Chains A and B, each alone.
Chain A
Amino acid sequence: MKIIKTKWFRRRKYSGWGLTPVTWQGWVFIAVLIAPLIFLASKIELGINLLSPLFISFAIYFAIFLGVIFAIMAKIHTDERERVHEAISDRNALWFLIFVLALGIVAESFSPDLVRTLYPINPFVFGGIIGAWIVKVISAIYLDKID
């Protein structure tokens, strides 16, 4: 018997990666899946020992969480046109991410302190991820219009 049904979800078309629940069962499932993750994350404090039972439990549950999400995503039916669109969008996003990260490596090799002193988080990593997400959204919308 199947506990999780793929018809509860649809793949995110324009807003990046992941699942969108389309039925109340899907929303309940996501809430039940995410609740322990939020509970464990709320107990973790900055500077926690990475070998502490709490952090290990969080890491294990997070891996299970991702595994379940990926398993559902893999089973959701998509037709050939949707698969091609998704592949092209992901490719564009990945190229953008690679470009920004390569730019970051060059910038850091020329001026190692500049990036660290200017920003609390590495702007190339952060910008690369956000930019890749934007590229994926634009690509998906564009492909849906022309193809």
Chain B
Amino acid sequence: MTQEELALKVGVARQTIISLEAGRYNPSLRLAYDISRALKAKNVEEIFKF
């Protein structure tokens, strides 16, 4: 899945996905959950490390 596709799926700008990948932006719990679901992860911890 491309950054653009993921951004569209979770309803954010592509720049937000870029910032998340670079570890510069801490997402809200809601966004972290939406991204985890979009990437078909079992849970949020599989994608994000807090």
Contacts and interface: CB of A to CB of B under 8 A. Distances in A.
A147 B19 contact: yes
Contacts of B13: 78-79, 81-82
A38 interface: no
Interface string A129-147: 0000000000000001011
Interface in B1-50: 11-13, 15-16, 19, 24-25, 27-28, 30-31
Interface residues of A, number: 9
Interface string A62-104: 0000000000000001111110000000000000000000000
B24 A80 contact: no
A147 B24 CA distance: 5
Interface of A: 77-82, 144, 146-147
A81 B11 contact: no
Chain A binding site: helix, strand, loop or mixed by DSSP?
helix
A77 B11 CA distance: 9
26 contacts: A77-B11, A78-B13, A79-B11, A79-B12, A79-B13, A79-B16, A79-B31, A80-B12, A80-B16, A80-B27, A80-B28, A80-B30, A80-B31, A81-B12, A81-B13, A81-B15, A81-B16, A81-B19, A81-B25, A82-B13, A82-B16, A144-B15, A146-B24, A147-B19, A147-B24, A147-B25
Given A79-B12, A80-B30, A82-B16, 4 more contacts: A80-B12, A80-B27, A81-B16, A82-B13
B30 to A, nearest CB: 8
